[in-house]
């Protein structure tokens, strides 16, 4: 398996990207193609190519975080994001990963790979921690304005991902809403509720409120990209805030039990709340595997993004979604 990795995208590129690639290549035994300035990347590699598993593909341009995604993708054809996605289109790679400009990564992947036939809107599928493990939320930001059929498709794609990649049996799918009752919500959510209720291939668990998301009672939560992105960033912000508050609250105990013991006790919680533990978010609905990583991804996050890409390819995620097209079109 060969994975194209945008080495120039992200707040800590290329250093953390390269280090993450080396860790992933050695741990998962996959080939990784680092795409970007050959000179800069090779300086970071310092002669370490993970036994030949890591190679460099030169790209002369970089799309910056503040550039308009579609315009940049059209103008910078030799940018690391565009070239990375192109390698998948050409069959030179099995998946693409980028921690760069999210809009550009989405646009480049869409232009290069296209959509699975029948899918109207690809969706970002983010993993969130829960008290019982984890769950997925989609759309997490790709589509801010959605029609009922789009959310219906998100639900089916999320269910397939939860089953095929996360290993959930008969995953429970819920619709993010302002109340649990069937009659709650706006016209969009009420319409989608009925569509999901009538779709026999989905284990529909009804509505779910924001306060219930992290209890772990469902495997998939569906919403439009505006709501999803707000929820995702709220969870990230709460995680950072809570860890800081807990750490500060335990400071008086440090003298009694020792800072190492406190650090050890907090370690497990911190790992569970840390976005880098979950890697990247797949862009579901494309005719290929594309992973969108957090802009502030460190080496650990990149390593785990490679894991997500590998699992998606190994479990034939694209084929599985395409095979469930019938569910997506039912009632639309």
Return the pLDDT at 143. 93
Q: Is residue 308 part of a domain?
A: no
Q: Is residue 107 part of a domain?
A: yes
Both 60 and 189 in a single domain? no
**What DSSP designation does 77 have?**
T
Return the pLDDT at 235. 86
Segment 214-240, tens digit of pLDDT: 999 999 999 999 999 999 989 888 877
Both 135 and 265 in a single domain? yes
In whole angstroms, give the CA distance from residue 238 to residue 220: 20
Residue 61 structural domain: 1-118+285-297
The 3-state DSSP class for residue 40 equals: helix
In whole angstroms, give the CA distance from residue 147 to residue 37: 41
In whole angstroms, give the CA distance from residue 247 to residue 256: 15
Q: Is residue 221 part of a domain?
A: yes
Segment 145-165, tens digit of pLDDT: 999 999 999 999 999 999 999
Q: What percent of the chain has pLDDT over 90?
A: 76
Segment 97-117, tens digit of pLDDT: 999 999 999 999 999 999 999
How large is the angle between the packed helices 148-164 and 187-197, nearest 10 degrees?
50
Segment 194-216, tens digit of pLDDT: 999 999 889 999 999 999 999 99
Q: Is residue 316 part of a domain?
A: no
Both 134 and 164 in a single domain? yes
Both 114 and 124 in a single domain? no
Both 130 and 254 in a single domain? yes
CATH, residue 143: 3.40.718.10
8-29 in b/e form (b: 16+ CB < 10 A) is bbbebbbebbbbbbbbbbeebe
Domain count, the chain: 2
Q: What percent of the chain has pLDDT over 70?
A: 89
The DSSP bridge partners found for residue 173 are: 204, 220
Which candidate, 9, 208, 16, 234, places its Cα nearest to that of 109?
A: 9
In whole angstroms, give the CA distance from residue 81 to residue 184: 41
Residue 49 burial (CB count, 10 A): 16
C-alpha to C-alpha distances, 231 to 112, 171, 215, 235, 266, nearest whole angstrom: 29, 21, 15, 6, 24
Both 138 and 157 in a single domain? yes
Q: Is residue 4 part of a domain?
A: yes
Which candidate, 279, 286, 293, places its Cα nearest to that of 318?
A: 286
Higher pLDDT, 278 or 147: 147
Both 229 and 84 in a single domain? no
Statement: residue 273 has pLDDT above 60: no
Most distant CA pair in the chain, distance: 63
C-alpha to C-alpha distances, 79 to 7, 53, 167, nearest whole angstrom: 11, 23, 35
Q: Is residue 165 part of a domain?
A: yes
Both 32 and 70 in a single domain? yes
Segment 311-324, tens digit of pLDDT: 999 999 999 999 88
The answer to whether the CB of 125 falls within 8 A of the CB of 309 is no
How large is the angle between the packed helices 102-113 and 80-89, nearest 10 degrees?
30
Both 125 and 250 in a single domain? yes
Both 212 and 145 in a single domain? yes
pLDDT interval class at 129 (50, 70, 90):
confident
The answer to whether the CB of 283 falls within 8 A of the CB of 290 is yes
* Residue 186 falls in which region: left (phi positive, over 0), alpha (psi -120 to 50) or beta: beta
Per 3-state DSSP, what percentage of the chain is helix, strand, and coil (rounded to 5)?
50, 20, 30
Segment 75-100, tens digit of pLDDT: 999 999 999 999 999 999 999 999 99
Higher pLDDT, 265 or 92: 92
53-59 CB contacts, 8 Å cutoff, 24+ apart: 53/25, 53/26, 53/29, 54/21, 54/22, 54/25, 55/31, 56/7, 57/4, 57/33, 57/83, 57/87, 59/8, 59/35, 59/83, 59/84
Statement: residue 43 has pLDDT above 70: yes
The pairing of strands 31-36 and 172-176 is unpaired
Q: Is residue 164 part of a domain?
A: yes
pLDDT interval class at 331 (50, 70, 90):
very low
pLDDT interval class at 49 (50, 70, 90):
very high
Both 98 and 146 in a single domain? no
Both 253 and 293 in a single domain? no
Q: Is residue 185 part of a domain?
A: yes
Which candidate, 307, 321, 318, places its Cα nearest to that of 97?
A: 307
Q: Quote the pTM value.
A: 0.89
Return the pLDDT at 239. 77
Contacts of residue 51, defined as CB under 8 A and 6 or more positions apart, other chains included, come to 25, 26
């Amino acid at each position: 398996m060969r994975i194209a990795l945008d080495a120039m995208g992200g707040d800590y590129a290329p250093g953390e990207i390269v280090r993450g690639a080396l860790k992933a290549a050695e741990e998962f035994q996959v080939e990784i193609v680092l795409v970007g300035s050959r000179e800069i990347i090779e300086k970071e590699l310092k002669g370490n190519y993970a036994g030949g598993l890591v190679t460099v593909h030169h790209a002369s341009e970089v799309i910056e975080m503040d550039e308009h995604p579609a315009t940049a993708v059209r103008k910078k054809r030799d940018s690391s994001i565009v070239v990375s996605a192109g390698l998948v289109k050409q069959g030179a790679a099995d998946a693409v990963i980028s921690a760069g400009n999210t809009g550009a990564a989405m646009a480049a992947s869409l232009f290069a790979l296209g959509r699975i036939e029948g899918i109207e809107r690809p969706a970002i599928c983010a993993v969130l921690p829960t008290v019982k493990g984890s769950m997925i939320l989609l759309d997490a930001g790709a589509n801010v304005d959605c029609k009922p059929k789009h959310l219906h498709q998100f639900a089916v794609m999320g269910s397939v991902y939860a089953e095929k990649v996360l290993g959930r049996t008969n995953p429970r799918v819920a619709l993010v809403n302002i109340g649990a009752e069937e009659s709650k919500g706006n016209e969009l959510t009420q319409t989608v509720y009925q569509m999901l209720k009538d779709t026999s291939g989905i284990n529909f668990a009804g509505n779910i409120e924001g306060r219930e998301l992290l209890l772990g009672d469902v495997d998939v939560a569906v919403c439009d990209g505006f709501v999803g992105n707000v929820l995702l960033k709220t969870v990230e912000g709460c995680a950072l805030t809570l860890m800081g508050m807990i750490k500060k609250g335990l400071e008086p105990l440090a003298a009694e039990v020792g800072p190492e013991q406190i650090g050890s006790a907090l370690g497990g919680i911190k790992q569970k709340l840390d976005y880098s533990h979950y890697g990247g978010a797949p862009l579901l609905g494309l005719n290929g595997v594309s992973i969108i990583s957090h802009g502030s991804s460190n080496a650990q996050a990149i390593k785990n993004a490679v894991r997500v890409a590998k699992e998606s390819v190994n479990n034939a995620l694209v084929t599985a979604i395409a095979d469930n097209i019938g569910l997506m079109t039912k009632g639309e």
